[in-house]
Structure 1
Amino acid sequence: MNVTQLKDWNENEQILHSLKDDILVTNVEGIILKVSEVTGKIYGVESESLIGKSVYDLEAQGLFTPILTPMVVKENKKITFVQTTNKGKKLLVTGIPVYNEQGELYRIVSYSHDITELAQYKEFLFAMEEEMQRVKTELGLLRNKQLHDAGIIAKSADMQKALSTARQLSEVDVNALILGESGVGKSLLAKFIHNKSHRRKGPFIEVNCGAIPDSLFEAELFGYEPGAFTGAHQKGKVGLIELSNGGTLFLDEIGELPLQHQVKVLKVIQEKRFYRVGGTKPIQVDFRLISATNKDLQKAIHEKQFREDLYFRLNVVPVTIPPLRKRTEDIVPLIHMLLQQFEKKYNKKKRLDEAVIHHLLHYEWRGNVRELINIMERLVVLSPTTLITDEHLPDHVKEGASIPSPSIPIEQTLKQMLDDREKQILLAARKKYRTTIRMAEALGTSQPSIVRKMKKYQII
């Protein structure tokens, strides 16, 4: 290094240019005083050509935007934001105020990091999230359609829980016991499990344990050989258990099974083998077992009416279907689904007055979904007009509806009271479901209808 080089050498400048980061120093008027060598590369110019220029002019020329200096001058503190260069790069820029001995703002030092790739990753992730949400929505719609086609509505949390368990059960051949009041849809859920399982191409054999006379139970369940007893068919008969081979055996109303037959059923479940009545050759069967009951089997065990060993064989995984009165979110969607089904079945076009839905929503439904099915079929068949009004409802439904006392003045008209109630339902639905699409799905109506009603009641 010669004398001239020593004179030109500046420690601060060398340190500045040795840094691999973009560093730029301006005065409070925005005139560039110092830059690192990396700065020019970022903006596509020679670093030295920036010295002495105004950041305001450079912004006007499109070199970068927005500019940092006026922000730091105005706020008089450290500022960080994203800047875009003329090359389309995204920079995370930070400006730091520097003060002189009098405490006055003297310089603004800025440094930046190229975050172009990060921004692209963010956009990519955002696009992926949107795509995943779209796929999730489509899967949800497809799943809801499949459930709708199966006649199952599951908007309520308890019903969704039961359905989630049923889906898990469909993947394995474990014994399942479906619990619930009469009419809640136990056989429907059993068919759902079968249709989702690997046995769906096999038979689904339903046995109502409470409907077979004691004297015929063994013959119906196990079948019989020719001439096994007086009156037997000369060719014999294949029993229901044998028919279920390769599929699902559904023992409905298992709680009604007489005590003397329970040990025989237990043996078949344990061994998957049985003898026909009058037969001597064992028959091996392969079936998946699902049972259902509306009885308290533990109470029946305590009363010596049900075998405890059979109970434990049946109750490997229990699934409880809640009564309809405890899953009110499902009532309106069920009403609309049934209306569509019976319209198609009887080739009739019907509409439900809001007062009808109001009565159906507040009725206790002791007969559960089965009772609702009967009522909806009756309304479609017997109502003489297209519009079904509360006049067409059976008296016991109108009288038995547990409609809460209105919290509004009784001087209001029925329409005003119904409007107030509808507004309350919409407010509750918006709070729970957030979007109009999900509100419409939960309430069993269309999204435009929800939007229209929200505008009507000025729900923002």
Structure 2
Amino acid sequence: MNASKFPEMWDLLSEESEQGDWELEEVIGSLYDDVLISNARGTILKVSGHFKRLYGKPSDQLIGKTVHELEQEGVFTPSITKLVLKEKTKQIGIQKTEGGRRVLVTGVPVFDRKGRFVRVICFSRDITEPMRLKEHFTLMEQEMERLRSELDNLRQEAMDSSDLVAVHPSMKHTLQTARRVAQVDVHVLLQGESGVGKTAMARYIHQHSPRSKGPFIEVNCGAIPEALFESELFGYEGGAFTGAKREGKIGFAELADQGTLFLDEVGELPKPLQVKVLKLIQEKQFYRIGGRRPVKSDFRLITATNRDLEELVKAGEFREDLYFRLHVVPITVPPLRQRPEDLLELIDVLLDKYCRKHGLRKTLDARVKKQLMEYPWPGNVRELENLLERLVVVSPSDTIYLEDLPGQFQQAAPLTSLENVKGKTLPEIVAQVERDLLLQARQEGKSTTEIAKMFGISQSTVVRKLQRYKRKGMQ
């Protein structure tokens, strides 16, 4: 600061009269920033009255001390005044106070009319909270990036582990159709029984589409209560209704922007909601509940149902206009019982999957595989997945035997057949039948005494045979 440019300020800084002191105090007190004035040796001459709020020291205790002493005492670090004294130019820096606060300090040199360096004025502003907010924001950005990376990995894993197997011609044709349709941004309606893998097929289409880098948002229309469906799909503004989050909520439709919106069990949509979904599909924009500004969302729509939508339309339970909007490219996923070649490979794929998931090594006895092939699978792939994970976890040995299967599978299994006993001697066959009957009786909770009575043998014989099978790892 040059005296020739600011004569009035210089007069106040150099004036030693009571009038000069009073006016200088008024000037300093009117400033938003805290002010510290020192001479050319770093001795403090004036301090604003709010200095204690920042540095924890009353102003009257600072006057007469040097900035070197205050820095050594830890009142502030570093001293900006020292930098100005050294460089004789304006300096800006961030100080840390004894109380842990962050202070932005601007130090300005003052020269008299003869150009002599005589004063340093430092303006201090508390930036603790802004700095904390900045650091918090940086951490949030890092955490968001980490979560985004994890979500991308999980999304990729979900796509890669969809367990879609296509060996049977009907399933091959279905997968080929899905692959072709994936390249075109048209609505797809996936049809098929419950558990056939419609969700996996939807993910497959998304993965092989130009939108694969975007989100895949799944909405189960049958699992969300009608009263909540609109707020879940479209979101809401803060305070839109009682119980709403203060900051509001983003809906599924908005989350699906640049990606795929998958409406599963679309046949379960209540009639009043069908018109809202139709409007969303037609306009690709909507209003949040309580909102006045339209929200646009560019998504690709895939729907799925295990119900006959055409029959629902005839019965007046499903809107015809919505049906035609969804029924652009229908793809039917065949049930598991109609594609036995897929079933055999799925068994191997899923067994390996759940062994790796639980850190175990299990194999299926040949008779178990045969029995699984003969089962009609009303629950399709979902039922197969549940069964194999259960068998991997609960079977006591490294080989899964017929007696490890739930009751409905064992009941359908013939005790013996030429296919099952091929390559075995008669004593081996008799031993196998004996073993199966004894273990089945034991698993039904019968005591060794009851088993002995049932088969007309002694209890000690039952105990001995069960122990022998256990030692051989057959139980």
TM-score range (shorter-chain normalised) is: 0.5 to 0.7
List aligned pairs for 1:224-303, cutoff 5 A.
224-303=236-315
Partner of 2:368: 356
CA shift in 2, pair 1:211/1:347, >3 Å: same
CA contact (8 A) 2:174 2:331 kept: yes
- What's the CA shift string for 1:182-207, capped at 9, x where partnerless? 00010000000001111011000000
- TM-score normalised by L of structure 2: 0.54
Partner of 1:203: 215
1:400: how far off? Answer: 4.2
Residue type matched to 1:343 in 2?
A: C
In percent, how many aligned pairs have the same letter?
53
Distance in 1 between residues matched to 2:159 and 2:345, nearest whole Å: 12
2:384 to 372, 379, 382: 372
CA RMSD in angstroms comes to 2.1
Partner of 1:182: 194
The yes-or-no answer on 1:166 pairing with 2:206 is: no
Partner of 2:411: 399
1:418: how far off? Answer: 9.8
1:150: how far off? Answer: 3.3
Partner of 1:347: 359
Q: Which runs of structure 1 show a deviation greater than 6 angstroms over 4 or more consecutive aligned residues? A: none
Distance in 2 between residues matched to 1:399 and 1:326, nearest whole Å: 22
CA shift in 2, pair 1:413/1:231, >3 Å: closer
1:388 to 382, 400, 407: 400
CA shift in 2, pair 1:400/1:223, >3 Å: farther
1:147: how far off? Answer: 9.1
CA contact (8 A) 1:156 1:327 kept: yes
1:395: how far off? Answer: 1.1
List aligned pairs for 1:106-145, cutoff 5 A.
none
1:416: how far off? Answer: 1.8
Distance in 2 between residues matched to 1:413 and 1:157, nearest whole Å: 27
Partner of 1:99: none
Structure 1 residue ranges without an equivalent (≥5) = 1-145, 420-460
CA contact (8 A) 2:174 2:332 kept: yes
- What's the CA shift string for 1:221-268, capped at 9, x where partnerless? 000111111111111111100000000000000000000000000000
Residue type matched to 1:228 in 2?
A: A
CA contact (8 A) 2:367 2:420 kept: no
1:151: how far off? Answer: 1.3
Structure 2 residue ranges without an equivalent (≥5) = 1-157, 426-475
The yes-or-no answer on 1:415 pairing with 2:427 is: no
Partner of 1:150: 162
Question: SS where residue 323 of structure 2 aligns?
Answer: helix
CA shift in 2, pair 1:413/1:325, >3 Å: closer
- What's the CA shift string for 1:2-51, capped at 9, x where partnerless? xxxxxxxxxxxxxxxxxxxxxxxxxxxxxxxxxxxxxxxxxxxxxxxxxx
Corresponding pairs, count: 268
CA shift in 2, pair 1:226/1:413, >3 Å: closer
CA contact (8 A) 2:174 2:333 kept: yes
Residue type matched to 1:303 in 2?
A: A
1:415: how far off? Answer: 1.4
Distance in 1 between residues matched to 2:341 and 2:419, nearest whole Å: 27
List aligned pairs for 1:75-94, cutoff 5 A.
none
CA contact (8 A) 1:364 1:400 kept: no
Question: SS where residue 261 of structure 2 aligns?
Answer: strand
CA shift in 2, pair 1:417/1:254, >3 Å: farther
Distance in 1 between residues matched to 2:307 and 2:261, nearest whole Å: 20
CA contact (8 A) 1:181 1:323 kept: yes
CA contact (8 A) 1:147 1:153 kept: no
The yes-or-no answer on 1:216 pairing with 2:228 is: yes
Distance in 2 between residues matched to 1:284 and 1:268, nearest whole Å: 10
Question: SS where residue 356 of structure 1 aligns?
Answer: helix
CA shift in 2, pair 1:418/1:238, >3 Å: farther
CA shift in 2, pair 1:149/1:227, >3 Å: closer
CA shift in 2, pair 1:221/1:413, >3 Å: closer
Distance in 1 between residues matched to 2:266 and 2:279, nearest whole Å: 15
Residue type matched to 2:229 in 1?
A: F
Distance in 1 between residues matched to 2:420 and 2:248, nearest whole Å: 66
- What's the CA shift string for 1:375-409, capped at 9, x where partnerless? 101111111111111111111122246x8x99xxx
1:313: how far off? Answer: 0.3
CA contact (8 A) 1:203 1:243 kept: yes
CA shift in 2, pair 1:212/1:378, >3 Å: same
Distance in 1 between residues matched to 2:285 and 2:400, nearest whole Å: 54
Question: SS where residue 375 of structure 1 aligns?
Answer: helix
CA shift in 2, pair 1:382/1:236, >3 Å: same
- What's the CA shift string for 1:126-173, capped at 9, x where partnerless? xxxxxxxxxxxxxxxxxxxx9974311000111111101100111011
Question: SS where residue 278 of structure 1 aligns?
Answer: coil
Distance in 2 between residues matched to 1:413 and 1:357, nearest whole Å: 12
Question: SS where residue 301 of structure 2 aligns?
Answer: strand
- What's the CA shift string for 1:281-304, capped at 9, x where partnerless? 111110000000000001101111
Distance in 2 between residues matched to 1:187 and 1:205, nearest whole Å: 11
CA contact (8 A) 2:221 2:269 kept: yes
Partner of 1:90: none
Question: SS where residue 249 of structure 1 aligns?
Answer: strand
